[in-house]
Structure 1
Amino acid sequence: MKTKEIEDNNNEGVITTFRHSLDSIPLDLISDILLKFPAKSLVEFTCVSNTWYSIIRSQMFIKTFMSMSISRPRILLTFKRNHNNDNELLFFSSPHTSQVSNDSSSVVSRHEMTISRTSPGDYIIHSPSVRGFLCCSHQHQYMVCNPTTRQVINLPEDHGFDHGTMKCYMHLGYDPSMCINWNVNNVLIIRGGALKRFGQIKTPGENFTCLANYKGKLAGLSLLGNSFNLWVLEDVKEQAWSKTDTFVLSHTLWDLQLKFSGTTDAGELVFAPSSFSDDFDVFYFDIKEKTMRRIKVEGVTNDEEFRCRRKHLCYVSISCDHVENIYMY
């Protein structure tokens, strides 16, 4: 008994000494040191002490970490599962590879979080990642989640919308100076944030399959059989579009049923299969250089939670500009 009491006293002494040591370090130095840790560790570090909690939760620290995250975007893979009324989204992320890397390389992914909803109906719908946040919906339920902190906020249910006859798609936006909407008449409606004006920009002759951010400019992708074109809005006022050269997919790639997932900061177009297989690859197309990179995503099948659910996983989608956001609700 005495030995146990001595051990307890020694442990308390070590903890007290450790806390005193932490208190003696300048706060700005602690902040600089913490910024070197990954996001998941920072979320856990909020439990170390009140001081660390205050630093990590401060707006300045979150803003600085976000600036660092934007410079190293990640790929967010989302797997959909619907079995016995269990609707789930499994999120994995992996780093991008450098544009100067080999034509064929690999990256290792990690499991971020899983969202579950127990109710009959369609799959959970989710929007692309916007500064680390995603908007998800299932029937008349809407959620905003942060895969980095593994937090989910349930928004008020919408009972006024007839989900039986109409589809409602939820999206997140960030840029306060521009809001872009797309409708079936091939017209883009752009709302200026500061001037509060509305304007119309007509698209060129080809129908767009989807819109994207191409090097800071609005772009539209048009698919024509096993080839695609990219139209870029060069001048908003003059409504001038430029068209890139046609990129033709090989029959091997066409058979993979690739789906456009977005662009990288370097201007590469990112494509990935809509269904998962053991050899899951992400493809980067440089439309100017007419080159392609093939990146193998590893680590997903090694995850225990993924293996338990794999039999009933049906679809996979990708956000290619996901960033780690340590903002906690």
Structure 2
Amino acid sequence: MEDLQLDLDHAENCTTTIPFDLIIEILSRLPAKSLIRFQSVSKLWFSTIRSRTFVDSFYTRSMTRPRFLFRFDHRESRRNFIFSAPQYEYCSDDDRYVFSAMARYDMTISDPDYCTFRDSVQGFICFTSAVPKRFYDGTPLFNSITVYNPTTRQIVKLPDFTPNGRYVEALLGYDPVEDQYKVLCVMMLMMFGAPDESQDDIQQEHFVCTLSSSQKQEWRKIENPTGDSYTSVFFGQICIDGALYYGVGESGIVKFDVRSEKVEYIKTPEESYISGSYNSTLINYNGKLGGLERSCEGNLMTLWVLEDAEKQEWSSITYDLPYHWDATLGYGVTDGEIHGSHMVFCPPFSVFYYDFDMDCISVVRIRGIEDGDLRVDGFGELTGHTSCRPGHIENIRFL
């Protein structure tokens, strides 16, 4: 007993100090959710985890482990549930192999009657919510644009506005040179306007809002030197090296330079429909703008790549996939991107990897999202909808 008391007294008189560099090394290996909680341990830990050096180091590490981002839109409760799952490059020598991955719940987003979900950009996602009463009782269409970080659960609500009879799309972009996030808001003509209304005097406009914690969020109008107008048809969105691209129906693709805030127009090949079809999507192909389009008949998938942006020259290659994608994808290509020699598709609750070299498909079943009340893609009672975006990178940065 006396020896035990001596040991306790000795322990009280000894102070063990962990080197700060070792603490940083330990913190850098922790999951993002743990880091967010550990900010409350002390002021030193808070300032360390929030420091630019630590945030950049964590993001660099996260780039080696991208995730799939899932949105479950529960329409009865008017809430969106955000999940994510590991994005591994699965492959097998078998003709078709099935894997499984567990999804992780990240956050819940409450929204009005309508919500548009776009791709993740540097770990942040942009939602455009609207109450489309204009079609029923003539009241103005109200829009709300919000940027979310599923990792930190930070919510950045941008100023609301009334578009005065126009359809609104908001897209998030990132400029790596100035390290700035910007939201591009496009007010367009309604594709399906009210029958008793004329849109001849309605102007299409572009607005930009820079996301910054040091200054007030406000919308700034920018000019569209191309003079091109388009209706409310957006197909695909991708941010590549400081440039934001989005399809605008059969007319082509719009490029928005995030740094200079200039708008350019890119014509797509006449024989393609990568900018104006639900069976197509824009992708990042080895740092170049690309597009995938699926044939309405058969198993053909065509990859288009913008080889020369100034001359607007495109190349293409068509693949004959080993399986019929109508049955596999339901409504066609919901999203896709190229990883090395893999083509990635993301229908609800599953991820399909097509290996160009091996000509095989691997399937990853996503577990942990669906429940007994969920009905997807019109089968049974439609109470919810699920969409997926690949390439989400966890970011512990706060805006």
Q: What TM-score does the superposition give when structure 1 sets the normalisation length?
A: 0.79
**Larger CA deviation: 67-76 vs 147-156:** 147-156
Question: Aligned partners of 2:168 and 2:322: how far apart in 1?
Answer: 33
**Larger CA deviation: 173-182 vs 229-238:** 173-182
Alignment map for 1:193-212 (pairs within 5 Å): 200-204=265-269, 205-208=271-274, 209-212=280-283
* Structure with more relative contact order (C-alpha pairs < 8 Å, separation 6 or more): 1
Counterpart of 2:155 in structure 1 is 152
1:39, distance to aligned residue in structure 2 (A):
0.2
Counterpart of 2:67 in structure 1 is 74
Secondary structure of the structure 2 residue equivalent to 1:55:
helix
Question: Aligned partners of 2:268 and 2:394: how far apart in 1?
Answer: 34
1:43, distance to aligned residue in structure 2 (A):
0.2
Q: What TM-score does the superposition give when structure 2 sets the normalisation length?
A: 0.66
Counterpart of 1:223 in structure 2 is 294
Aligned residues between the structures: 296
Preserved CA contact (<8 Å) 1:215 1:267? no
Counterpart of 1:7 in structure 2 is none
Judged with a 3 Å threshold, the aligned counterparts in structure 2 of structure 1 residues 255 and 294 are, in CA distance, closer, same or farther, namely closer
Alignment map for 1:58-73 (pairs within 5 Å): 58-73=51-66
Counterpart of 1:88 in structure 2 is 79
Matching residue within 102, 114, 119 for 1:108: 102
Letter in 2 for 1:112: D
1:106, distance to aligned residue in structure 2 (A):
1.2
Preserved CA contact (<8 Å) 1:245 1:287? no
Deviations 1:244-294 (A, max 9, x none): 2233463475254143322143252222335xxxxx321112345432111
Question: Aligned partners of 2:383 and 2:20: how far apart in 1?
Answer: 46
Judged with a 3 Å threshold, the aligned counterparts in structure 2 of structure 1 residues 281 and 309 are, in CA distance, closer, same or farther, namely closer
Unaligned runs of 5+ in 2: 1-7, 131-142, 177-241, 275-279, 376-380
1:298, distance to aligned residue in structure 2 (A):
1.6
The Cα RMSD (Å) is 3.0
1:65, distance to aligned residue in structure 2 (A):
0.3
Matched, 1:172 2:189: no
Secondary structure of the structure 1 residue equivalent to 2:352:
strand
Judged with a 3 Å threshold, the aligned counterparts in structure 2 of structure 1 residues 193 and 76 are, in CA distance, closer, same or farther, namely closer
Question: Aligned partners of 1:324 and 1:55: how far apart in 2?
Answer: 18
Counterpart of 2:285 in structure 1 is 214
Preserved CA contact (<8 Å) 1:97 1:107? no
Judged with a 3 Å threshold, the aligned counterparts in structure 2 of structure 1 residues 17 and 43 are, in CA distance, closer, same or farther, namely farther
Preserved CA contact (<8 Å) 2:246 2:282? no
Preserved CA contact (<8 Å) 2:306 2:312? yes
Identity %: 32
Judged with a 3 Å threshold, the aligned counterparts in structure 2 of structure 1 residues 112 and 171 are, in CA distance, closer, same or farther, namely same
